[in-house]
Chain A
C-alpha cells in the first residue's frame, strides 16, 4: 500500500456532500445547547431553590462524563423510556420511528447545554454589578435590564469561550458515526474502506475540519470586533 496523493482530492470531493450533515448537527446542538445553557445558568445565578441544584447536578454530570456516553445513553435509553411511557398511557407513538440523527441532535444538545451554561454563567458574572443597579435606578424591570443591559455585555465577554464551544461541538459531531449518521467522519470511513485508502481519506476529512474551524475562528474575530465596539476606550 502506497500513499496516493491524487486520491486525497478524490476523497475530498466525495466528502463535500456530507458537510451539511455535520453543520446541521453542530448548529442544532449549539442553538439548543445555548437555550438549555442560558436557563441552567440563570437558575444557578439566581439560586432558584430545587431547580438550581438540579442544574448544578446536570452540569457536573455532563462535564464529568464523555460525550460518547451521553450519545449512547440517549440512543439506548430514550427509546426504552419512551416505549415504557407510551405503553403506560396507550399512545400510538413508536420509539423506533425516531430518526437516527434525532438521537444525535438530542444528546449533543444536552452535552452542549452543560458546557454552554458554564460559559454563559462566567459571561454574566463578568458584567459589572453596577450596570444592573444603574438599569434598576432608571426604572427598568429585571427582564428589561437583563435583555438590554446585561446580555449584550455578557455576550461580548463570553464570545471567545462561545466560539471554543462551537468548535468543540463541531469536532464532537464526529461521534455521530456511533449511531450511524453519515457525517464527514463516517463518510471518510466509507470512502476509505471502499477504496482501501485510509490515510488519504482521513487526511481529506482533517483538511475539511481544519478549514471549518479556521472559518469559525475568523468569523468570531469579526463579530468580536463589532460587539466590543462600545468598549474600545479612549475618547471618540
Chain B
C-alpha cells in the first residue's frame, strides 16, 4: 500500500500543510465565537431557572452532547437548508464553511454552557451577598464580582474544550473544506506517501495544541492574579485556598472527557 517509507517527505510536507493551518484556525476561532455567544444564551436560563427555556436548554445540551459531531455536521449540512427553505430563506448558495463553523459552534456551545454553569455555581454564594450588601444591582454583581471569578475557574476546562475543538476540526474535510486533514489526504493520495503525510499532520496538530494549552495557562495565571501575591503572614491560608481551587477544577469537567475525533 503506497510508496516505501521516506522520512524526507515528512519535512517537505510541513510547509504545504502549514499553508492550510489558517483554515483550521479560522474554523476554531469562528466556532469559538459562535460557541461563546450561544453558550451564554443556553447557560443563563439554566442558571436563573427560567421555566420553559430551562427545559429547552437542557434538551439542546443533551442533544449536542449525545450525538457525534460527525453526524451533526452532516445533519446540519443537509438539514439546515431544507428547514430554512420552509421559512423562505435560500441557503443553497452559502459556502460550506458557514455550515461547518455553525455546527462546531453549536456543538461546543453545549459543552461550554455546562462549564459556565458549573463555574458560576462554584463561586461562593457569599460573594454575591456581599455585593448586594454594598448596594450593587443584580447585573453589576454578576459582571463585576461573579463573572471574573467564574472566568478564572472556567479557564482550565475551557482550555480542554478549545483543544478538543481543534481536534474535531479534522472532520471538516468530510464536507469538502480544505483544512489541514483534507490537505494531508490530498497530498498522500497525490504522492502515495500517506504515512509521511499523516505523521507530518499529527506533528502540526500536536504543536498547535501544546501552544494553545500554554497560552491558556498564561491566561489562567493572569485571571488568578487576585489569588497569588499575598502578604507573607497569610501564606498558609493561601496554600489551602489554592488546593481548594485545584480540587474544584478537577471536579468540574465539561463532560467532553472522551476521545472524540
Interface positions of A (Cβ within 8 A of B)? 1-3, 60-70, 72-73, 76-77, 79-80, 96, 108, 111-112, 114-115, 119, 122, 126, 160-161, 164-172, 174-175, 185, 188-189, 192, 198-199, 202-203, 205-206, 209-210, 213-214
CB closest residue in chain A, given B73: A202
- A-B interface, 6 closest residue pairs, ranked by CB to CB distance from nearest: A168-B258, A164-B257, A171-B68, A198-B78, A213-B66, A66-B170
Measured between beta carbons, the chain A residues less than 8 angstroms from B250 are 122, 126
Q: Is B49 an interface residue (CB 8 A)?
A: no
CB closest residue in chain B, given A205: B71
Measured between beta carbons, the chain B residues less than 8 angstroms from A76 are 1-2, 188, 194-195, 198
Give 16 A-B contacts (CB < 8 Å), ordered by A residue: A65-B205, A66-B202, A67-B167, A73-B198, A96-B1, A160-B253, A168-B260, A169-B258, A170-B258, A171-B70, A174-B68, A175-B171, A188-B71, A202-B75, A203-B79, A206-B75
Q: Is B67 an interface residue (CB 8 A)?
A: yes
Measured between beta carbons, the chain A residues less than 8 angstroms from B205 are 64-66, 69
Contact yes or no, A210 B202, CB < 8 A: no
Within 8 Å by CB of B202, from A2, A3, A69, A203, lies A69
Cβ-Cβ contact count across A and B, 8 Å cutoff: 158
Interface centre among A76, A126, A192 (most CB of B within 10 A): A76
Contact yes or no, B82 A1, CB < 8 A: yes
Contact yes or no, B258 A209, CB < 8 A: no
B13-63 at interface with A (beta carbon < 8 Å): 62-63
User: Given A64-B205, A76-B195, A172 and B258 touching (CB < 8 A)?
Assistant: yes
Within 8 Å by CB of A165, from B181, B259, B261, lies B259
Measured between beta carbons, the chain B residues less than 8 angstroms from A210 are 62-63, 66-67
Contact yes or no, B71 A164, CB < 8 A: no
Q: Is B206 an interface residue (CB 8 A)?
A: yes
Q: Is B201 an interface residue (CB 8 A)?
A: yes
Q: Quick one: CB contact mask for B153-167 with A, threshold 8 Å, 1 for yes?
A: 000000000010001
Contact yes or no, B257 A68, CB < 8 A: no
Q: Is the interface of B mostly helix, strand, loop or mixed?
A: helix
The CA of A192 and the CA of B198, in the complex, are separated in Å by 30
Contact yes or no, B171 A115, CB < 8 A: no
Tell me the minimal C-beta distance from A231 to chain B in angstroms.
15
The CA of A111 and the CA of B67, in the complex, are separated in Å by 19
Measured between beta carbons, the chain B residues less than 8 angstroms from A188 are 71, 74
The CA of A185 and the CA of B69, in the complex, are separated in Å by 11
Tell me the minimal C-beta distance from B218 to chain A in angstroms.
18
Q: Is B91 an interface residue (CB 8 A)?
A: no
Contact yes or no, B171 A68, CB < 8 A: yes
Measured between beta carbons, the chain A residues less than 8 angstroms from B209 are 63-65
Measured between beta carbons, the chain B residues less than 8 angstroms from A96 are 1
Tell me the minimal C-beta distance from B59 to chain A in angstroms.
10
The CA of A181 and the CA of B256, in the complex, are separated in Å by 25
User: Given A69-B202, A174-B68, A164 and B195 touching (CB < 8 A)?
Assistant: no
Contact yes or no, B75 A203, CB < 8 A: yes
Tell me the minimal C-beta distance from A29 to chain B in angstroms.
8
CB closest residue in chain A, given B181: A68
Contact yes or no, A73 B199, CB < 8 A: yes
CB closest residue in chain A, given B68: A171
Measured between beta carbons, the chain B residues less than 8 angstroms from A79 are 1
Contact yes or no, B257 A214, CB < 8 A: no
Within 8 Å by CB of A115, from B69, B163, B257, lies B257
Measured between beta carbons, the chain A residues less than 8 angstroms from B11 are none
The CA of A174 and the CA of B258, in the complex, are separated in Å by 13
The CA of A165 and the CA of B65, in the complex, are separated in Å by 12
Measured between beta carbons, the chain A residues less than 8 angstroms from B79 are 198-199, 202-203
Tell me the minimal C-beta distance from B217 to chain A in angstroms.
15
CB closest residue in chain B, given A189: B74
Interface centre among B195, B199, B253 (most CB of A within 10 A): B195
The CA of A1 and the CA of B86, in the complex, are separated in Å by 12
Q: Is B5 an interface residue (CB 8 A)?
A: yes
Q: Is B168 an interface residue (CB 8 A)?
A: yes
The CA of A99 and the CA of B170, in the complex, are separated in Å by 25
CB closest residue in chain A, given B79: A199
CB closest residue in chain B, given A29: B259
Tell me the minimal C-beta distance from A125 to chain B in angstroms.
9
CB closest residue in chain B, given A78: B195
